[in-house]
């Protein structure tokens, strides 16, 4: 049996931090509302491009696995906030890290993009199409955020992480996946202002307006993720008690708690870092996975349940059996370029550009 197992991991978290109090300086909101409704206390605002974040996370993951860039056969970049549509983000990372033998593809299923990418790359490894893959989940949301809308601006943040996935004959790696989508309600999470629907309409690309039916998304997210978790556990003949750690999409602490309860799982065995970063869309699960390893929450041979939901409304779960190694083999000495501005200064720049545009969504 040819399995696909994670042998390398690395994150790139931009340092500039935007607190709830920072947001309250330009929006009618407060720390108490944001913390009690979402669990979020702060988020990062990136001074790097998405591809720069992806490349740094990739260098760190490759060093962790002690794998040379030219040994990669495939790069999958899960994102919905690419620097540009053509050429894609994965090719940008391929060039930056010198992965000259790797194919390069982007996957966009919004917040589940890393998870869909992981399943895709693992399937290619199992089939013998590739041996060594890099799966990245990253988002640069801050320039695309509508910073005048308190209903969404408080929820999101920037970040990135990457994992190296390699073929193995050992009984470890990705054991089961479930992918799903509630396409019939896809309009309840919709971002106007990104894509060719807006071309030639005098719309500045990236000047967004978000349709965001929070409570409806909340309900669907809980049902979809719980169903996916149950499905992968059944595929493996396992029950909730067999799960050593759940690493869920970090959109809202209340959503995580509801999924854990509905699935008969335990919050003691669930990794949560939404308070530090908010919803980083495709980056949440891989960043959480990296931090769970850094904090010693993943033991050799552990059963890890990943789950997420996002625009589409896509949802998924993946069950991993971790290998023997839970520490990096090496570290890279490549450093992040310094950040010259505060998070609030960067956001005030986006806000000023938004206020200057004065556009509205097409019918």
Q: Is 20 in the site for ligand UT7 (CB under 6 A)?
A: no
- Would you say 91 or 113 has its CB closer to ligand UT7? 113
- Which is catalytic among the residues 249, 252, 273, 303? 249
For residue 181, indicate whether it is catalytic.
no
Q: Which of 3, 7, 20, 38 binds ligand UT7 (CB under 6 A)?
A: 38
In this structure, what are the phi and psi dihedrals at residue 318, rounded to the nearest 5 degrees?
Answer: -135, 135
What Rg value do the Cα atoms of the chain yield, rounded?
Answer: 19
Q: Which of 15, 98, 151, 195 binds ligand UT7 (CB under 6 A)?
A: 151
By CB under 6 A, is residue 287 in contact with ligand UT7?
no
Nearer to ligand UT7, 181 or 251 (CB): 251
Please compute, for residue 218, the number of CA atoms within 13 A of its CA located in the half-sphere on the CB side: 11
* Residue position matching structure tokens 């500045």: 204
Rank residues 29 and 101 by Cβ distance to ligand UT7 and give the closer one: 29
Place of tokens 């971790």: 322
Size of the site for ligand UT7 (CB under 6 A): 17
Residue number with the smallest Cβ distance to ligand UT7: 214
Choose one: 33-41, 85-93, 288-296, 344-352; the region binding ligand UT7 (CB under 6 A). Answer: 33-41
| CA neighbor of 113 nearest in space, from 282, 230, 236, 276 | 282
For the chain, the maximum distance between any two Cα atoms, rounded to a whole number of angstroms, is 58
Q: Based on the residue annotation, tell me whether 279 is a catalytic residue of this protein.
A: yes
Does residue number 79 form part of the binding site for ligand UT7 (CB under 6 A)? no
| 33 scored as a contact of ligand UT7 (CB under 6 A) | yes
Going through 193-325 in order, the beta strands assigned E by DSSP cover: 209-212, 245-248, 303-310, 314-321
Catalytic residue, chosen from 12, 64, 80, 111, is 111
218 lines the binding site for ligand UT7 (CB under 6 A): yes
CA distance 147 to 144: 9
Whichever of 24 and 302 has its CB closer to ligand UT7, that residue is 24
- Interaction between residue 154 and ligand UT7 (CB under 6 A): yes
In the complex, minimum distance from the CB of residue 166 to ligand UT7, in angstroms, rounded to a whole number? 29
Applying CB under 6 A, does 252 fall inside the site for ligand UT7?
Answer: yes
Beta bridge mates, 210: 191
Residue 306: CB minimum distance to ligand UT7, A: 15
Q: Which is nearer to ligand UT7, 34 or 55 (CB)?
A: 34
Q: φ and ψ at 315, to 5 degrees?
A: -150, 160
Q: Is 349 in the site for ligand UT7 (CB under 6 A)?
A: no
Distance, in Å, from the CA atom of 301 to the CA atom of 321, rounded to the nearest integer, reads: 6
How far apart are alpha carbons 158 and 153 in whole angstroms?
12
37 binds ligand UT7 (CB under 6 A): yes
Beta bridge partners of 138: 160
Phi/psi at 156 (5° precision) = -110, 165
Asked if 279 interacts with ligand UT7 (CB under 6 A), we say yes
Are the CB atoms for 192 and 361 separated by under 8 Å? yes
- In whole angstroms, the minimum distance from the beta carbon of 215 to ligand UT7 comes to 4
Q: Is 275 exposed, middle or buried (0-12, 13-18, 19+ CB in 10 A)?
A: middle
Q: Which residues contact 312 (CB under 8 A, 6 or more apart)?
A: 109, 110, 112, 181, 182, 183, 186, 189
Find the binder of ligand UT7 among 13, 16, 111, 344 (CB under 6 A).
111
Shortest distance (Å) from residue 356 CB to ligand UT7:
23
Decide: is 150 part of the binding site for ligand UT7 (CB under 6 A): yes
Identify whether the C-beta of residue 141 lies closer than 8 Å to the C-beta of residue 157.
yes
In the bound state with ligand UT7, the residue whose beta carbon lies nearer, of 40 and 233, is 40
Residue 215 binding ligand UT7, by CB under 6 A: yes
Residues annotated catalytic, as ranges: 111, 249, 279
What does the binding site for ligand UT7 look like in residue numbers (CB under 6 A)? 29, 33-34, 37-38, 111, 150-151, 154, 214-215, 217-218, 251-252, 279, 310
């Amino acid at each position: 049996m040819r399995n696909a197992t994670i042998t390398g991991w690395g994150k790139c978290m931009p340092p500039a931090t935007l607190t709830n109090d920072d947001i309250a300086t330009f929006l009618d909101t407060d720390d108490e509302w944001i913390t009690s409704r979402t669990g979020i206390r702060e988020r990062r605002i990136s001074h790097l491009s998405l591809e720069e974040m992806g490349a740094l996370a990739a260098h760190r993951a490759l060093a962790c696995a002690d794998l040379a860039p030219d040994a990669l056969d495939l790069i999958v970049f899960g994102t919905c906030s690419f620097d540009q549509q053509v050429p894609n983000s994965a090719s940008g990372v391929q060039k930056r890290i010198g992965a000259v033998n790797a194919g390069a593809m982007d996957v966009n299923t919004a917040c589940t993009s890393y998870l869909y990418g992981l399943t895709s790359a693992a399937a290619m490894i199992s089939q013998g199409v590739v041996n060594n893959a890099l799966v990245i989940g990253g988002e640069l949301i801050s320039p695309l955020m509508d910073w005048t809308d308190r209903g969404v601006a408080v929820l999101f943040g920037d970040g990135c992480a990457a994992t190296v996935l390699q073929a193995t004959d050992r009984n470890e790696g990705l054991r089961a996946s479930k992918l799903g989508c509630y396409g019939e309600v896809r309009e309840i999470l919709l971002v106007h202002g990104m894509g060719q629907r807006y071309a030639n309409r005098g719309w500045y690309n990236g000047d967004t307006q978000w349709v965001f039916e929070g409570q409806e998304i909340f309900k669907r997210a809980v049902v979809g993720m719980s169903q996916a978790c149950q499905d992968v556990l059944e595929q493996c003949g396992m029950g909730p008690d067999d799960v050593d750690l759940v690493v869920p999409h970090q959109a809202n602490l209340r959503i995580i708690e509801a999924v854990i309860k509905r699935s008969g799982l335990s919050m003691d065995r669930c990794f949560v870092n939404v308070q530090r970063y908010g919803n980083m869309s495709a980056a949440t699960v891989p960043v959480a996975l990296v931090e769970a390893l850094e904090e010693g929450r993943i033991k050799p041979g552990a059963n890890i349940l990943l789950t997420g939901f996002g625009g589409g409304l896509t949802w998924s779960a993946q069950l991993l059996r971790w290998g023997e190694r839970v520490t990096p083999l090496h570290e890279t000495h490549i450093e992040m370029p310094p950040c010259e501005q505060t998070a609030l200064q960067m956001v005030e720049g986006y806000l000023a550009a938004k206020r200057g545009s004065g556009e509205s969504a097409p019918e």
